[in-house]
Amino acid sequence: MPVNTKAIGKTYEPVVYAVGREKIKEYTRAVGETNPVHLDVGAARDAGYADVVAPPMFAVVYSAPSVGPPIFDPEIELNFAMMVHGGQEFVWGPLVVAGDEITTTASVKDISEQDGRGYYVFESISTNQRGEQVCRGTWTNIVRGV
Amino acid sequence: MAELHAGEQIPEVRVTPDKFLTVRYAGASGDFNPIHIDEEFARAVGLPGRILHGLWTMAQVARAQTEAAGGPEHLKRLSVQFRGMGVPEQEVIVSGTVRELAGGRALIDTVAEQDGKQIIRNAEAELEF
């Protein structure tokens, strides 16, 4: 059965995430980062940042919620039970620090089929409160047996 | 930071996720998919047991880059492919090789392995200095 490609280009409602200092520290510990700019506000300020700095992969925390609506969009007909996360790319701009407010908009970048697998590629664009693009995420989900 | 040279390896990151790491990462990241936190559920869907979050493993790949580069501000791009699955309580090893180094920019080919199998492969990082 061919995959349904009519949603390519569709954009979803933005998701706003307020970045908290303790959340950055919790994430930092969970991934084993030890750089003090992620854990100690004094060290972050000494390094020239306004507050503790989010590790780059903290992008998952503020941008992943934007990708839920496309994954479960009935128009896309993605079979979630058969889905695996096949690939991920992040492209980063200015670092995110505690106190930032990040707005993320997701869209459907591509839907295709190859060898009985469906490839669902979503893009997330995250900007901070100054309108600077802090991250662009490309989320590739593979569905077996389409 | 490490001194980077084209054709040479970046310092390895070796980390053994403890038994409850996936629970802490679920809370920290917001990804509560039960295949990562519920042993019975994971077995019921045909997995060997709870598996690591791919994005946690990707964070280890990112950490190898930022530690080699000397800080988070240097990592501009990271793309990875997830393959197979990682499990708790077994060492994860991230390695990488500097493919290109020119004009204040480095490209690193990098992978994450566990038990001799690549769980992240074909990964590429771009660093800026």
Does B128 contact A at CB distance below 8 Å? no
Into which CATH architecture does domain A15-19+54-144 fall? Roll (3.10)
Question: Cα(B127)–Cα(B67) distance, rounded to whole angstroms?
Answer: 11
pLDDT tens per residue, range A6-25: 999 999 999 999 999 999 99
pLDDT digits (tens, 9 = 90+) for B23-52: 999 999 999 999 999 999 999 988 999 999
Contacts of A35 in chain B (CB under 8 A): 66-67, 71-72
- Classified by CATH at the fold level, domain B13-19+52-128 comes out as Thiol Ester Dehydrase; Chain A (3.10.129)
Q: Is the pLDDT of residue A1 over 70?
A: no
* Contacting residues for B34 by C-beta, under 8 A, at least 6 apart: B41, B42
Q: Does B77 touch chain A (CB under 8 A)?
A: yes
- Distance CA(A113)–CA(A145), nearest Å, equals 10
CA atoms within 13 A on the CB side of A35: 25
Q: Do A60 and B66 touch (CB under 8 A)?
A: no
Taking CB atoms within 8 Å and a gap of at least 24, the contacts of B99-105 are B99/B6, B100/B6, B101/B4, B101/B5, B101/B6, B104/B128, B104/B129, B105/B129
* ipTM, two decimals: 0.96
Any idea where the domains of chain B sit in the sequence? 13-19+52-128
List the one residue out of A135, A139, A105, A91 whose CA is nearest residue A119.
A139
Contact A35 B71 (CB under 8 A): yes
Give CA–CA dist B79/A90, Å, rounded: 6
